[in-house]
Structure 1
Amino acid sequence: MLGDMKSSFHDALKSTEPLALPHVTPPSEILVALQLIPDLARGDLLQSYGKLILNERLFQALMELPLAMRKEWLLLLNEKNGG
Structure 2
Amino acid sequence: MSLRKQWRDLDRSTVRSAPDRYALYEVGDDNGTSLGVGIGVLPDELRELLAYGEGSNFHSAVDADAAGEPAKVRWELTTSKSHAENLLAEHRDD
TM-score (norm 2): 0.27
TM-score (norm 1): 0.29
Q: Quick check: which one's helix share is greater?
A: 1
- Larger RCO (alpha carbons 8 Å, 6+ apart): 2
If you compute each CA radius of gyration, which structure gives the higher value, 1 or 2?
1
